[in-house]
Amino acid sequence: MADWKKLALAIILADGAIDENEVKVLKKELYADGKIDKQELAFLMELRELAQKKAKGQELHPEFEKLFFKALQESVLVDGAINKEGANKLRLAIFADKKVDEGEKKFLARLKKAATKKTHADFEALCVECLGKPEVVEKSVASAKGDKDTKADKTDKPAMMVSSKGSAAKKTSPKKSETKATAAKAPASAKEESPAPAPEPAAAASEK
């Protein structure tokens, strides 16, 4: 009987890489019930490990990395906390290729920020091992938060520009009103300055 898991891995990596269409299929099938279970996460972890070996140091498709880290975070982060089992999963996933890349470091920093409740000592040790000393870890977490705030600032800028244009329009409107008022006064002024009409000759006096 065929091993469908191995067959799926072989088909996806037949060309040596995971492309965008394959990521779409994976996302659709794995999230068919709205979540990813342990077996599905194990499949993703094995797929990523094999893909990294075939990539030979090259980065994997960003959409696949996004899908993988999303599934991994949902699995290990439960109600804002990370337990020992979750920390072990993270270690297996991150050190599958015997090294820690920038994407994995950023993921760990985001995950630590998202962990609002108590985390296991093994997770804290993993963060220090991958990101550096505790103060470096905190700096990485703050940097992850800063990136999010920067994106929010960029989103707000167009609104600020529109507001500025609106203010400029309000400032120029009085000048237009003054111009109209001056134009309206001009005919009246001209009427006042025009010479009075000459008196008509006294016709009645000549008849007498």
- Tens digits of residue pLDDT in 60-92: 999 999 999 999 999 999 999 999 999 999 999
**Predicted pLDDT at 181:** 44
Q: Is the dihedral of CA 162, 164, 165, 171 positive or negative?
A: positive
| Whole-number Å distance between alpha carbons of 173 and 32 | 58
Structural domain boundaries of the chain? 1-76, 80-154
> Rounded mean pLDDT of the chain?
78
- Average confidence (pLDDT) over 143-152: 58
**Predicted pLDDT at 3:** 87
Token digits of residue 86:
């979750």
Band (111; pLDDT cuts 50, 70, 90)? very high
**Predicted pLDDT at 141:** 73
DSSP string covering 92-108 = HHHTTTSS--HHHHHHH
Token digits of residue 174:
């009085």
| Whole-number Å distance between alpha carbons of 90 and 126 | 8
Interior CA angle at 89 toward 86 and 90, to 5°? 90
Number of H helices, E strands in the chain: 9, 0
HSE-CB for 15 with a 13 A CA cutoff: 4
Long-range contacts of 11-18 (CB under 8 A, 24+ apart): 12/47, 13/47, 13/50, 13/51, 13/54, 16/54, 16/55, 17/51, 17/54, 17/55, 17/60, 17/61, 18/47, 18/51, 18/60, 18/61, 18/64
- Burial (Cβ within 10 Å: 0-12, 13-18, ≥19) of residue 141: buried
Q: Is the predicted pLDDT of residue 13 greater than 80, yes or no?
A: yes
| pTM of full prediction above 0.75 | no
- Do the Cβ atoms of 110 and 74 come closer than 8 Å? no
**Predicted pLDDT at 147:** 59
Residue whose entry in the numeric block shows the structure tokens 């794995």: 30
Residue 149 belongs to what H/E stretch?
Answer: helix 134-193
**Predicted pLDDT at 25:** 96
How does pLDDT run across 158-169, given as a tens digit for each residue?
444 434 444 444
Q: Is the dihedral of CA 7, 35, 46, 107 positive or negative?
A: positive
Helix (H, G, I), strand (E, B) or coil at 31: coil
